[in-house]
Structure 1
Amino acid sequence: MSVLVTGGAGYIGAHMLLALEDAGEPAVALDNLSTGARWLAPKAAPFVEADVGDAEALAKVFADHDITEVIHFAGSILVPESIRHPLDYYRNNTANTITLLRACVDAGVKRFIFSSTAAVYGTPARTPVSETAPIHSITPYGASMAMSERVLQDAAAAHDISYVTLRYFNVAGADPRGRAGEIGKPTHLIKAAAQIALGLRQEKLQIHGGDYPTPDGSAIRDYVHVSDLAQAHLEALERLRGAGGSITLNCGYGRGYSVYEVVDAFRRVTGAEMDYEVGPRRAGDPPQLIADNAAIRTVLDWRPRYDDIDFIVETAIDWERRLAAREGTN
């Protein structure tokens, strides 16, 4: 019996595989390597290179590895890209989730954990935002994930599947032991800042919008360490195995940091200034997103270990240093 981790060669998927390995849980990684890297996934987990939208490949994986649970990370996650290429996002995130759920039904898999996003809330009227807030996506990314949530709810009701949907806020940082981290182009603030801090990019940090209705004018986000996020999935798995029932939960710390506060964290960690320039807002970026995390703390008894912005920054910088050394040897 094994847990299938889709997107297992990606940022969060690799950390999930590490958490499963550390817990002694057998797992299988599936990834099409469009944005992931084979070396990022732990070697202990069997690896299948396939697309989550490939029904034939999924059927073979379920049969060959006796899959009993699925943790679904595979998908597209960039807000600006989703605005430019909405059809790709509805295919990768919604249509492929349908294919995966069909494979689960056909294989008799009854436990499913879905990686969703706070983007389903759009620009919430209140903050912190709770799970009862209206779904009002303002981007194709958020809308595609909200659609996938609804598909999962309906499939679960019809086919006796138990699920936990985790709505992530801003995932950041890297494995404290340096085993995994974010790869690819720096599309998120902390990765971009870490590369600039190490001199890997000779440019100023770009701040998208300095006129938001926030205390310092920059956007505020709830940054959650990726290893804490992986731990939340382990606890969600235990809930499903204990017949805890289906539920949708926010996954964030309940504390927001502005872009300028993140820059200050880099200054504290590195002891150096960071040059930046303020540009226009990006389409699809709400002024602030902060989680009401009371439910996940209660339902899953989730107790984050790395709820500290300076530690998140430290692990991100350490990972970029390791990544640069690795790329320099190839």
Structure 2
Amino acid sequence: MAWLVTGGAGYIGAHVVRALQKADLAPVVIDDLSSGIAAFVPEGVPFVRANLLDRAAVGAALDEHDVAGVIHIAGFKYAGVSVTRPLHTYAQNVSAMVVLLEELAARGIDKVVFSSSAATYGTPDVDLVTEDTGLHPESPYGETKLIGEWLLRDAEVAHGLRHTSLRYFNVVGSGSTDLFDASPHNLFPLVFDMLYRGATPRINGEDYPTPDGTCVRDYIHVADLALAHVAAARRLAAGEPLERVYNLGSGDGHSVRQIMDTIREVTGIDFTPEVHERRPGDPARIVASGELAARDLDWRMRHDLREMVASAWAARQQAGDTYPR
């Protein structure tokens, strides 16, 4: 029996696939490579190149590989871009998920781990986000992730689906030097790329009510995140109870200034970030509690900030000039 990983050729998905392999849970990947990288799929892991909107391909993958459950990571993940491409975002994140859930229901496949997002919270007005914090998504991306959670809830009522959703903020680091984050919108790859080009990274605002004046965010290591997905899959497979939603948070967070200082220390590249004005809408602090996930999913921060930066930098260096732009 296999676990289908949608988006398994992406940065997060590829780490989940390798964690499943180590746990002997037989991963199968489906990915259209719109942002994924085929080389991220390990040799010997079945790979279906298809979009989830392709119903026939989804059904064939489920049948051919005797799928027992799904870890659903695929989606259009760029919150900012989703504002200008809302219909595309809804098609990839909602319509595609409907197809997936319909094909699962038709086959009696009743286990789903959903890669949701802390974007469902919008800009929370609390110091520490918990699963009970109000949901106020502020982008089509955040809205579609929340709708995805609703779809799972409704499929539970209608078809007996067993599921859980994992919400998280900023995923960084690398669990292997051949897996890197190539997102054009995430802080680590943005800063690394600027350093590679000889440009100077920037900080947007240093007058926030935080210890060093820069924004504080929740950063978690991608390998820790992958282990939480596997733990959730194991519990579903064993018939053990799970909450509908878990935050995968650090409970602490790091400031942008701390990130820059650590990058300078790890890379050995001496730079002083340019300080620009605040960006409209950037909250001073967003940090989540991971207590519930620690209780049920063995969630914990196994990597400190230096390890997050060092592993990400090592992967970026190995990619070298082959890094996609």
Show the 5 A alignment for 1:1-330: 1-175=1-175, 177-185=176-184, 187-197=185-195, 200-247=196-243, 248-282=245-279, 285-306=282-303, 308-324=304-320, 326=322
Tell me the SS of whatever aligns to 1:112.
strand
User: 1:89, 1:140 within 8 Å by CA — same for their partners in 2?
Assistant: yes
User: 1:67, 1:109 within 8 Å by CA — same for their partners in 2?
Assistant: yes
The TM-score normalised by the length of structure 1 is: 0.92
User: Structure 1 pair 75/216, CA: closer, same or farther in 2 (3 Å)?
Assistant: same
- Does 283-292 or 2-11 show the bigger shift? 283-292
1:21-46 deviations in whole A, cap 9, x for unaligned?
A: 12222111000011111111112211
User: 2:182, 2:323 within 8 Å by CA — same for their partners in 1?
Assistant: no
The TM-score normalised by the length of structure 2 is: 0.94
Q: Which amino acid aligns with 2:253?
A: G
| Deviation at residue 164 of structure 1 after TM alignment | 1.4
User: Structure 1 pair 100/294, CA: closer, same or farther in 2 (3 Å)?
Assistant: same
In 1: Cα distance, 2:39 partner to 2:268 partner: 32
User: 1:194, 1:316 within 8 Å by CA — same for their partners in 2?
Assistant: no
User: 1:123, 1:287 within 8 Å by CA — same for their partners in 2?
Assistant: no
RMSD over aligned Cα atoms: 1.8
In 2: Cα distance, 1:283 partner to 1:53 partner: 35
- Does 106-115 or 81-90 show the bigger shift? 81-90
User: 1:204, 1:275 within 8 Å by CA — same for their partners in 2?
Assistant: yes
User: 1:30, 1:50 within 8 Å by CA — same for their partners in 2?
Assistant: yes
Q: Number of residue pairs matched?
A: 323
User: 2:113, 2:163 within 8 Å by CA — same for their partners in 1?
Assistant: yes
1:44-82 deviations in whole A, cap 9, x for unaligned?
A: 211000001211111111111111110001001112111
Tell me the SS of whatever aligns to 1:16.
helix
1:1-39 deviations in whole A, cap 9, x for unaligned?
A: 110000011100110111111222211100001111111
Tell me the SS of whatever aligns to 1:84.
coil
In 1: Cα distance, 2:277 partner to 2:164 partner: 37
User: 2:89, 2:140 within 8 Å by CA — same for their partners in 1?
Assistant: yes
Sequence identity (%): 38
In 1: Cα distance, 2:56 partner to 2:242 partner: 28
- Does 200-209 or 235-244 show the bigger shift? 200-209
Tell me the SS of whatever aligns to 1:157.
helix
Unpaired runs of 5+ residues, structure 1, are none
User: 1:71, 1:114 within 8 Å by CA — same for their partners in 2?
Assistant: yes
In 1: Cα distance, 2:83 partner to 2:167 partner: 20
In 2: Cα distance, 1:322 partner to 1:166 partner: 30
| Deviation at residue 283 of structure 1 after TM alignment | 5.6
User: Structure 1 pair 171/104, CA: closer, same or farther in 2 (3 Å)?
Assistant: same
